[in-house]
């Protein structure tokens, strides 16, 4: 089983990237599970026509710990992606990081991975902070690799550097290793050079690059993934190449 996490600053296109990678791999015939670990619970929305799905934490609050059934937490997309949203606390109450821990522990207790037997598991994680529950997907038994989405914008690179540093600091505990950086271009000056320098600082590589594209925006407005609605576009091809590269890095078979 290939298991990896995609981290990135809020608003950088992390979830768009995750959904498109999930769809691209599913369309190749792989059984994919995507687990959203963003408290906004919109990680998988592009796989469901732009709609949110019920989250694990919502179910726990409604039914109580130990009373949630596995099938209630899982939502299968049109492309066949097995989708789960961890969810977050009631606004102003509770800890979002703790919510991620509770959700992932619930999935494990319910035997989600054994029942659905995915070929690929993708954790989509907010990377503005990397502490407590937000580092949970990096822990042993969950993701084996971490891929960081960034643009060349200063704050995006700053957040990416913090994520990379966290991965480096955690590696002595047997946590996931850094798999590489995905450049989601924003057409800023010196973008490729600055992101390549960031990768070099952490002894890794830019493993995929996706151009800024109106096609991506148009697909999002339809609540769909680009690789589904505009598969021949340049950006869709770049996303598929990135997905193939991730599979290679994680030790899986690739058609590339």
pLDDT of amino acid 130:
78
pLDDT at 256: 40
Of 128, 205, 211, 215, which is the active-site residue?
Answer: 128
pLDDT at 249: 97
From 3, 28, 38, 40, active-site residue: 40
Q: For 119-169, what is the HEC assignment?
A: CEEEEEEECCCCCHHHHHHHCCCCCCEEEEEECCCHHHHHHHHHHHHHHHH
Q: Is 9 a catalytic residue?
A: yes
Q: What pLDDT is attached to residue 98?
A: 77
pLDDT at 207: 98
Structural domains for the chain: 2-249 (3.40.50.300)
Known catalytic residue: 145? no
Q: How many CB atoms lie within 10 A of CB 151?
A: 25
Beta sheet of 145-150, edge-to-edge order: 75-76, 82-85, 32-37, 120-126, 2-8, 145-150, 177-184, 206-210
Low-confidence residues of the chain: pLDDT under 50 = 256
**The one catalytic residue among 3, 9, 42, 145:** 9
Active site (annotated) includes residue 67: no
Tokens 């990680």 correspond to 43
pTM for the structure as a whole = 0.94
Exactly one of 14, 38, 42, 145 is catalytic; which is it?
14
């Amino acid at each position: 089983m290939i298991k990896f996490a995609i981290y990135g600053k809020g608003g950088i296109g992390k979830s768009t990237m995750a959904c498109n990678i999930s769809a691209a791999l599913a369309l190749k015939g792989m059984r994919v599970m995507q687990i959203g670990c963003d408290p906004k619970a919109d990680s998988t929305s592009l796989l469901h026509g732009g709609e949110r799905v019920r989250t694990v934490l919502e179910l726990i609050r409604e039914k109580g710990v130990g009373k949630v059934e596995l099938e209630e937490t899982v939502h299968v997309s049109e492309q066949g992606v097995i989708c789960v949203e961890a969810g977050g606390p009631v606004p102003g109450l509770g800890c979002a990081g703790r919510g991620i821990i509770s959700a992932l522990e619930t999935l494990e207790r319910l035997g989600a991975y054994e029942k659905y037997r995915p070929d690929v598991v993708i954790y989509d994680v907010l990377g503005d902070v990397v502490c407590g529950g937000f580092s949970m997907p990096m822990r042993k038994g969950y993701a084996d690799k971490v891929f960081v989405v960034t643009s060349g914008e200063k704050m995006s690179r700053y957040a990416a550097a913090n994520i990379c540093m966290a991965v480096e600091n955690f590696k002595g505990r047997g946590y996931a290793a850094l798999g590489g950086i995905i450049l989601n271009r924003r057409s800023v000056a010196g973008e490729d050079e600055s992101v390549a320098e960031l990768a070099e600082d952490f002894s890794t590589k830019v493993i995929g690059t996706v151009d800024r594209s109106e096609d991506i925006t148009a697909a999002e407005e339809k609540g769909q993934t680009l690789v589904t609605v505009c598969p021949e576009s340049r950006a869709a091809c770049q996303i598929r190449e990135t997905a193939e590269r991730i599979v290679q890095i994680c030790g899986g078979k690739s058609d590339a």
